[in-house]
Amino acid sequence: MSGEKRRWIIFAALFAVAIISYILPIQIESRPSPEVQKSYDYIENLPDSSVMMISFDHEASSLPEIQPISLAILRHLFRKNLRIIGLSLFAEGTAIGYEMLNRTARQYGKIYGRDYVFLGFKPQHISAILGMGESIRRVFPEDYFGNETDTLAVMQGVDNYDKVAMVISIADGDRAVQWIEYAGARYNQKIMAGLTAAMITTYDPYLGSGQLYSVVGGLKGAAEYEKLSGHLGAGNRGMWAQTTSHIFIIVMIIIGNIVYFRSKSSQKGRG
Amino acid sequence: MDIGIIIAGLLTLAIYSFLYRDNPVYKAAESLLIGLSIGYALVIFWQTTLVDRLFRPLFNEGDLILIIPLLLGLMMFSRFSQKLTWLSRLPIALMIGAGAGVSIPAMLYARTLKQISASVAPLYTASGGFDFSALVIILGLLSTLAYFYFSRRHEGAMGKMAKAGTYFLMIFFGATFGYTVMSRLSTLIGRIDFLLTDFLHVLR
């Protein structure tokens, strides 16, 4: 069988495993990791009306993985009656971020301008992060819709990071690193990251050094967060499919290695 | 059904058709993704940078100081002329200078000093217990540094350290690759959720 045909069969089998597992009504228990627990506990213990800043620093292509994380965290923030300042330091995250923020706010009956605001996108992310440490109004004189930031009730008393309990960067790249390096290091701002699984190892050193407070990583992180907040969503729905797909890939790796070593030893025998 | 969902569903299938083989439907969907992403980013940049931060304050509110960044921005376009290309060096020099000035202290602190202090954690905890993780970090750090130290031959003790460094690197690459596979599968599962729930209505 040709390599291309074999590859096609493996992809089709993986797709079938994922799709069948997703359809089956099987839920697996998600045991929260210490990092997700830490993220949840911090938000859970915040007093009412504390200010949280959430930055949607990702592209549209990572939405299937990012969305469950964002929604799980946003639901928790709104349930806790916290004041939310949304923004984006990645152009593509702007409309997506606003849509997720607005959709979740509606579910909890929150009012724009009073309970939450979306400041929109700001280019030159490093100057934006540093600038907000001095004055959020100066960086964002207007919100996403052109309302003057000063006139919004949610922004009252919030001049810079001093009144922001935590910045959450929802990222599929290294944008959260800039939050750590500039808002965290210079202004001592607490940073949490919601990350795609592919980025977790990049952030591990920051987590180990305490520069990053906590991480909610990948679909698994979303499932754990949903479990803690008692609102099961896309993260938990996908866990069984993810588990079976991983098992399938592990089996394929083992079979591939057996075939490789057998063909190598038979070549040696012939040679 | 919402027309947006139909288009999104068909484009998802078009992109996944690449798993069979490269084909014109995939190529069209890929080009559309790239074109839309660039177009969307351009519109956002035009509005948030040029209109909101430059044109409106300069022409409507008379903030004349903005003439300086406007001129510097225009000087960047001098790169298209062989005679005037030297003009672009000024805004580039300003950007590099300011960028380095802002980044170097922050990176030195966050990426170097803080990381070094986190890497030399004590081997014994406050309660007197042995911290195995701290030992792994120190061994990993020293052996990986040994691997990237090229001023001495990798022989004897140095060679063994460098060899151990390669194992630590392999473990890191393996973990990163595993997480990447996990990430891609999450994306696939997200699209399966969309296809079965919103597009095909197989699941509720």
Q: What's residue A4's pLDDT? A: 67
- Give the integer Cα–Cα distance in Å for A69 and A171: 10
pLDDT of B204 above 90: no
Q: Is B197 exposed, middle or buried (0-12, 13-18, 19+ CB in 10 A)?
A: middle
CB of B145 closer than 8 Å to CB of B164: no
Q: What's residue B128's pLDDT? A: 86
Q: What's residue A271's pLDDT? A: 65
Q: What's residue A1's pLDDT? A: 63
Q: What's residue B32's pLDDT? A: 95
Residue A208, chain B, CB below 8 Å: the answer is yes
Give, to the nearest 10 degrees, the angle between helix A218-229 and helix B156-193: 60
Please, what is the end-to-end C-alpha distance for chain B in angstroms?
Answer: 15
Of all residues in chain B, the percent with pLDDT exceeding 90 is 74
- The pair phi, psi for residue B28, each rounded to 5°, is -65, -45
Cα angle vertex B183, ends B178, B189, to 5°?
Answer: 125
Residue A82 distance to chain B (closest CA, Å):
28
Give, to the nearest 10 degrees, the angle between helix A34-44 and helix A218-229: 40
Q: What's residue A88's pLDDT? A: 95
- Give the integer Cα–Cα distance in Å for A265 and A267: 5
Q: What's residue B122's pLDDT? A: 86
pLDDT of B96 above 80: yes
Q: Which residue of A has its CA nearest to B171?
A: A201
Q: What's residue B191's pLDDT? A: 93
For residue A8, list chain B residues with Cβ-Cβ distance below 8 A: 19-21
Beta carbons of B188 and A245 less than 8 Å apart: yes
Q: What's residue A25's pLDDT? A: 87
Structure tokens of A89?
Answer: 């330091």
Mean pLDDT across chain A, nearest whole number? 93
Question: Whole domain around residue B159: which residue ranges?
Answer: 122-204
Structure tokens of A109?
Answer: 């009956």
Assigned domain for B104 exists: no
pLDDT of B129 above 80: yes
Q: How confident is the model at residue B121 (pLDDT cuts 50, 70, 90)?
A: confident
- Give the integer Cα–Cα distance in Å for B56 and A198: 41
Task: Report which of residues A123 and B94 the model is more confident about.
Answer: B94
Q: How confident is the model at residue B194 (pLDDT cuts 50, 70, 90)?
A: very high
- Give the integer Cα–Cα distance in Å for B75 and A178: 29
Assigned domain for B140 exists: yes
Q: What's residue A30's pLDDT? A: 83
Give, to the nearest 10 degrees, the angle between helix A234-270 and helix A63-79: 150
Residue A205, chain B, CB below 8 Å: the answer is yes
| Centroid of chain to Cα A174 | 12
Q: Give the CATH fold of the A29-231 domain.
A: Rossmann fold (3.40.50)
Residue A118, chain B, CB below 8 Å: the answer is no
- Give the integer Cα–Cα distance in Å for A35 and A214: 5
Picking from B49, B110, B137, the nearest residue to A181 by CB comes out as: B110
Mean pLDDT across chain B, nearest whole number? 92
Residue B85, chain A, CB below 8 Å: the answer is no
Q: Is A86 exposed, middle or buried (0-12, 13-18, 19+ CB in 10 A)?
A: buried
Residues of chain A with pLDDT under 50: none
Beta carbons of B190 and A126 less than 8 Å apart: no
Assigned domain for B112 exists: no
H-run or E-run covering A119: strand A116-121
Q: What's residue B19's pLDDT? A: 84
Domain count, chain B: 1
pLDDT of B202 above 90: no
Distances (CA, A) of B152 to A65, B144, B165: 45, 14, 15
Beta carbons of A18 and B192 less than 8 Å apart: yes
Q: Which residue of A has its CA nearest to B118?
A: A209
Which of A88, A87, A26 has its CA nearest to residue A59?
Answer: A88
Distances (CA, A) of A48 to A44, A80, A109, A166: 10, 7, 16, 14
